[in-house]
């Protein structure tokens, strides 16, 4: 199982920014897809952002224009830059992945491997 380790969470005030990082034990993006999910208390986990080997991206409507997903292949690291944070962004954020096998990295339903999560708390 590929190991995914997140970092970068914390507490900020509304309007602030955070950058999450996720390092993978195996990172060959042509074969392994990675993305970001979040789960707030009392809510289901939802896809936040994902990217594929061609640089295409997909975002949840609630974060479009505020969050940016990116990757550094040389460092085996995926990032999520979160700007203009809102209290409703408060959640546990998870890095996720799956073995591509011809499937789309941009389909949140394909993800089946999860990191331990990092907490993001946004106060008003």
pLDDT recorded at residue 84: 98
Low-confidence ranges of the chain (pLDDT < 50): none
pLDDT of residue 111: 96
pLDDT of residue 75: 85
**Residue 104 confidence (pLDDT):** 93
Q: 81: part of which helix (H) or strand (E)?
A: strand 77-82
pLDDT at 5: 94
Alpha-carbon gap, residue 120 to 48, rounded angstroms? 13
The pLDDT value recorded for residue 29 is 63
| CB neighbour list of residue 71: distance below 8 Å, 6 or more residues apart | 29, 34, 51, 77, 78, 79
């Amino acid at each position: 199982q590929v190991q995914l380790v997140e970092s970068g969470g914390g507490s900020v005030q509304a309007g602030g920014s955070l950058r999450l990082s996720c390092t993978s034990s195996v990172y060959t993006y042509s074969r392994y897809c990675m993305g970001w999910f979040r789960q707030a208390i009392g809510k289901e986990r939802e896809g936040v952002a994902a990217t594929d080997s061609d640089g295409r991206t997909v975002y949840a409507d609630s974060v479009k224009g505020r969050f940016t997903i990116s990757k550094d292949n040389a460092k085996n690291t995926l990032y999520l830059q979160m700007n203009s944070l809102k209290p409703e962004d408060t959640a546990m954020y998870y890095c996720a992945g799956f073995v591509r096998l011809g499937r789309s990295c941009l389909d949140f339903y394909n993800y089946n491997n999860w990191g331990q999560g990092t907490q993001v708390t946004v106060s008003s």
